[in-house]
Structure 1
């Protein structure tokens, strides 16, 4: 397929989206092309209607073959946007994306490469016992701007529960100590059956649509300003890679329901009241379930240390950093020896004074 590419009006090179702006900038001559308003709005889709549509799972879809308009090379990729493997020109799928769910929203990059490197330097310098080679993570060639797919879910819920309410009270207890009878106050709990109904609406519950990123690192990048998301347009992807989702929306919904269940249990316990609560059963009905596919911006930096590759992520909106780090054995040994020397000095000082 012929990808969408955006030629510079001045030199003809391919322009790229400039983070934090509303322009496509040329990396060669510096000329910029403003993004014109489209009037599009972010929409959410009824999950019940989507579930009735015939489609293939994303795992069964073949990679896309992009033919670069610049050099004519063919790049096969499972990404929505990428770079030509020969000339490096940005390649963006113009869509629609066949049997795939089309992105409905995108949160554009606001952190540029320079700001990303500053955030990485601050993160690297704050890692105690990290090897000196950790500074390599800030090298420009080791990082790339990547849009990661996420699902968002809305739902109204009504939950019927049964359980028990526990109320504390104090009782007097007699006991014998050294041949004498004494008494003391003992806290006990009186339990009684409890039933009720709670309701809650969930909005934009976020679930990662990719398994290529470590979940705990992705979670550490939150929160995301989802309200600032723009309606999807391929121009935002130019110059950045965009992963294709590999978590199906059905699976994502189950994950979202698990998050909802935790919140609903807390609601039930609050509704029961008392000093303690026991939940025996919670039956939840879902209505007005809506969903959409959203792209979130992340800088992905990889570096090699002692034959192992480490990955660090930077939130493309806030600059928050999360990721893996190696430990320097010599630094740890030196710290342990220094601590032992301090302890030995303190023991010697105490012994001398005695």
Structure 2
């Protein structure tokens, strides 16, 4: 009997994980494969479900879903019944903590989602490690206010899993364009030297263009696209790369103790973005195939086959802090410790740097004039 079968409890369609030693709710311990009790310290391994593996899905599976289910929007709310205090909480998250007693609650993903998660990249950094990554980040920021370096010590991090789609595809692309090859010609010109007109020669580079066409193939694996609009794509892209090869088959235990955002971008819509990212790579392949010194690609005709997708959950530590009356947000990749975010600038430090620069320029000018 696995961990979920022997210890899960909660409201309809949701579960929590009671500690076998003291009865309190256990949570997933980042950087391990275990559930940890924050009260008595008991740990129990996350037991992999027999036969569970990460599976890719074909788009024909989406087409086969019942019409009512296909037309239902992603998201919606789920009612959690806390086994600790009995409170009822409605939320659109797949996992959260009870707002009254802090019990970790996890929804049944199979019942809540049109497409259930296939894989999860578990939290690898705990709060202390995320705080240390933030300290290193703030210390390296030029012109950061001195008080900014104390943010990591005082603020609270919030751990969340964010939904992402991954796409695999075999592509075959027929292209047309031009190949540019450099050649040099000798050019005669006149110039004035010492008041006299002289004739000189120089080598001038020209480009000879010729038609080019061909076919390139490319296999794409795990093209990553955010499945949520709650965080901007530009921000999430800065958290890459993710060690996707370290992902595990989805198990609800990994979510216990963290908030899990549900996807609100459908896999069909994510595919549009994935194809745009594939097109950038394909265009580069075409340029390499054309060869020469310069290339022009005028048309691409790409055929896709073996197109599959899956839903994956990726871990992020969030921190929103208040500085000088303004809210600033920072995100930490909970596997690689990559930190991105907004930060204030110290006007005093910038002004001091400008004054130092001006003083240095004046000193150099003075020394040069004395020679």
TM-score normalised to structure 2 length = 0.88
Shift of 1:21: 1.0
Q: Distance in 1 between matches of 2:116 and 2:253?
A: 15
Does structure 1 residue 257 correspond to structure 2 residue 268?
no
Q: Which residue of 2 aligns with 1:123?
A: 137
Q: Distance in 1 between matches of 2:285 and 2:363?
A: 56
Q: Closer, same or farther in 2 for the Cα pair 1:190/1:335, shift >3 Å?
A: closer
Q: Which residue of 2 aligns with 1:305?
A: 323
Q: Which residue of 2 aligns with 1:19?
A: 30
After superposition, the C-alpha distances for 1:8-62 in whole angstroms (9 at most, x for unaligned) are 1111110000011111101111111222231311111112332443334675642
Does structure 1 residue 186 correspond to structure 2 residue 200?
no
Cα RMSD between the aligned structures? 2.2
Q: Which residue of 2 aligns with 1:218?
A: 236
Q: Which residue of 2 aligns with 1:93?
A: 107
Secondary structure of 2:275 counterpart = helix
After superposition, the C-alpha distances for 1:70-98 in whole angstroms (9 at most, x for unaligned) are 11111111111011111111110123134
Shift of 1:174: 4.8
Secondary structure of 2:25 counterpart = coil
8 Å CA contact retained: 1:58, 1:246: no
What are the within-5 Å matches in structure 2 for residues 117-156 of structure 1?
Answer: 117-139=131-153, 141-156=155-170
Q: Closer, same or farther in 2 for the Cα pair 1:57/1:79, shift >3 Å?
A: farther
**Where does structure 2 lack aligned partners over 5 or more consecutive residues?**
1-10
Shift of 1:350: 5.2
Q: Which residue of 2 aligns with 1:47?
A: 59
TM-score normalised to structure 1 length = 0.93
8 Å CA contact retained: 2:18, 2:24: yes
Q: Which residue of 2 aligns with 1:235?
A: 253
Could you tell which deviates more after superposition, 166-175 or 154-163? Answer: 166-175
Q: Closer, same or farther in 2 for the Cα pair 1:245/1:169, shift >3 Å?
A: same
Q: Distance in 2 between matches of 1:61 and 1:152?
A: 19
Q: Which residue of 1 aligns with 2:76?
A: 62
8 Å CA contact retained: 1:137, 1:302: no
Could you tell which deviates more after superposition, 124-133 or 107-116? Answer: 124-133
Tell me the number of residue pairs that the alignment of Structure 1 and Structure 2 aligns: 353
Secondary structure of 2:205 counterpart = strand
Q: Which residue of 2 aligns with 1:343?
A: 361
Q: Distance in 2 between matches of 1:348 and 1:192?
A: 58
Q: Closer, same or farther in 2 for the Cα pair 1:74/1:37, shift >3 Å?
A: same
Secondary structure of 1:82 counterpart = strand
Shift of 1:229: 0.6
Q: Distance in 2 between matches of 1:115 and 1:99?
A: 32
Could you tell which deviates more after superposition, 167-176 or 88-97? Answer: 167-176
Q: Which residue of 1 aligns with 2:225?
A: 207
Q: Distance in 2 between matches of 1:168 and 1:307?
A: 58
8 Å CA contact retained: 2:87, 2:100: yes
8 Å CA contact retained: 1:150, 1:295: yes
8 Å CA contact retained: 1:57, 1:248: no
Shift of 1:224: 1.1
Secondary structure of 2:242 counterpart = coil
Q: Distance in 1 between matches of 2:72 and 2:102?
A: 27
8 Å CA contact retained: 1:298, 1:316: yes
**Where does structure 1 lack aligned partners over 5 or more consecutive residues?**
none
Does structure 1 residue 111 correspond to structure 2 residue 114?
no
8 Å CA contact retained: 1:146, 1:298: yes
Does structure 1 residue 33 correspond to structure 2 residue 47?
no
What are the within-5 Å matches in structure 2 for residues 250-329 of structure 1?
Answer: 250-329=268-347
Q: Closer, same or farther in 2 for the Cα pair 1:139/1:246, shift >3 Å?
A: farther
Could you tell which deviates more after superposition, 89-98 or 167-176? Answer: 167-176
